[in-house]
């Protein structure tokens, strides 16, 4: 028996449910078997015990993953799809992934073909979570993925780069083109795998506020972004590090920014 392709499965389920894509929810359904296999293999490699998926949609990933892992937790915003997944006995948390109470969810691995409008926020929120999960395999707009992995002294480097790389080891799983989705988005995509990394930062939310302050106006010198009360300590730090007092946040590496934060906290 010839196995159906992801595209055929999508078309059948759309017909079965009389479902149409909702642009307001960022629905672009994955139809590439190659990309699906690479994502599910990346999930397999981290050996999830308690898997969770944001936005299962019509099941491109979910159908494959539940064959391997049985029932696992879903988060879905679309009411018609919530009803469908519950009807096939998949546990579903109904709501916006940015609004639900993650502290009440037990999971160790997160997977998602993320709606592009929430992707950066999901990475930041899961990075500063005190109960950080072991791994995430997430799809992004390619430009966002590039920002996540950007190095200092480059145009893409910023808040997202620093927070993501401080708390995760990040690897590229694969790229996905516009034709790998239905409907086709106007951008290319990239899948990244995040693996938990130990950090000496103990107060993650405080560190996030510090990095936001550093990059508040990225073209200004760092001293101008910092509160004047800490200027003397900042001058001591840059003197020790033999840096210019005109240095900008984007010129400092992730390790240097962490070192500055810890120095100012002494």
| Domains of the chain (ranges, CATH numbers) | 6-196 (3.40.50.150), 204-264 (1.10.8.100)
Mean of the per-residue pLDDT values of the chain = 93
Three-state DSSP class for 227? coil
Backbone φ, ψ for residue 191 (5° rounding)? -100, 130
Answer whether 252's CB lies under 8 Å from 260's CB: yes
Farthest-apart Cα atoms in the chain, separation: 73
Tell me the CB-side half-sphere exposure of residue 88, using CA atoms within 13 A: 17
Residue 140 · residue 189 · CB < 8 Å: yes
Residues β-bridged to residue 190:
140, 175
| Cβ partners under 8 Å of residue 189, min gap 6 | 139, 140, 141, 142, 145, 175, 176, 177, 180, 181
Which pLDDT value is given to residue 1? 46
Element (H, E) at 163: helix 159-167
Those residues of the chain that have pLDDT short of 50 are: 1
Distance CA 137, CA 171 (A): 10
Place of tokens 């993953």: 65
SS3 80: helix
């Amino acid at each position: 028996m010839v196995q159906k392709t992801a595209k055929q499965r999508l078309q059948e389920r759309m017909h079965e449910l009389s479902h149409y894509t909702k642009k307001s929810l960022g629905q672009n359904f994955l139809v590439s078997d190659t990309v699906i296999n690479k994502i599910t293999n990346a999930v397999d490699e981290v050996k999830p015990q308690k898997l969770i998926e944001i936005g299962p949609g019509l099941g491109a990933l979910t159908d494959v993953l539940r064959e391997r892992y049985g029932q696992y937790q879903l988060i879905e915003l679309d009411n018609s799809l919530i009803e469908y997944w519950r009807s096939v006995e998949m546990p579903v948390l109904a709501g916006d992934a940015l609004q639900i109470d993650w502290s009440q969810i037990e999971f160790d691995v997160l997977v998602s073909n993320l709606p592009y409008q929430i992707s950066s926020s999901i990475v930041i929120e899961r990075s500063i979570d005190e109960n950080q999960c072991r791994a995430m395999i997430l799809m992004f707009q390619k430009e966002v993925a590039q920002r996540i992995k950007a190095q200092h002294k480059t145009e893409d480097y910023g808040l997202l780069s620093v927070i993501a790389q401080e708390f995760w080891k990040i690897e590229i799983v694969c790229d996905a083109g516009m034709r790998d989705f239905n409907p086709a988005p106007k951008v290319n995509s990239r899948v990244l795998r995040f693996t938990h990394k130990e950090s000496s930062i103990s107060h993650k939310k405080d560190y996030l506020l510090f990095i936001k302050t550093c990059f508040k106006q990225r073209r200004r010198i760092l001293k101008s972004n910092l509160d004047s009360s800490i200027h003397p300590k900042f001058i001591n730090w840059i003197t020790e590090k033999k840096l210019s007092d005109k240095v900008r946040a984007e010129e400092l590496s992730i390790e240097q920014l962490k070192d500055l934060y810890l120095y100012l906290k002494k």
